[in-house]
């Protein structure tokens, strides 16, 4: 199961952490893992290329974290909230393979 944790402070998203593997299918054929990866990496890349924010990103096998700097701004929140909606949609479609926690 992939566990996704979103942290908010004063109503704004400050971090995103994804852990684990979905187990939907064998490695290389797991559409749930692929979908989560695309959303998470697009988020990290768009924060820099679209929002102009240098987030702290850490990635290793089965783990990705994104931490926003203070006062990252409206565009960064738009990116983060768009990705959050994508994770919500995935959780609705594949509840056995994903868990989303919003703090």
Mean pLDDT by 10 residues, the chain (103 residues): 97 97 94 97 97 97 95 97 98 97 95
pLDDT of residue 68: 98
How, if at all, do strands 2-9 and 98-102 pair?
Answer: parallel
Q: Shortest CA distance to 13 belongs to which of 63, 49, 50, 53?
A: 53
Q: What is the pLDDT of residue 59?
A: 95
Q: Residue 83 — φ and ψ, nearest 5°? A: -65, -40
CB atoms within 10 A of CB 67: 14
Domains of the chain listed by start with CATH number: 2-102 (3.30.70.1490)
Identify which of 41, 38, 43, 36 has the alpha carbon closest to the alpha carbon of residue 79: 43
* DSSP summary character for residue 66: E
What is residue 67's predicted lDDT score, i.e. its pLDDT? 98
pTM exceeds cut of 0.85: yes
């Amino acid at each position: 199961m992939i566990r996704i944790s979103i942290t908010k402070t004063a109503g704004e998203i400050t971090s995103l952490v994804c852990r684990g593997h979905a187990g939907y299918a064998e490695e290389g054929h797991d559409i749930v893992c692929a979908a989560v990866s695309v959303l998470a990496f697009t988020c990290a890349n768009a924060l820099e290329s679209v929002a102009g924010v240098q987030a702290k990103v850490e990635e290793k096998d089965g783990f990705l974290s994104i931490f926003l700097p203070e006062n990252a701004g409206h565009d960064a929140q738009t990116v983060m909230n768009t990705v959050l909606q994508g994770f919500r949609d995935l959780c609705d479609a594949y509840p056995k393979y994903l868990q989303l926690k919003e703090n």
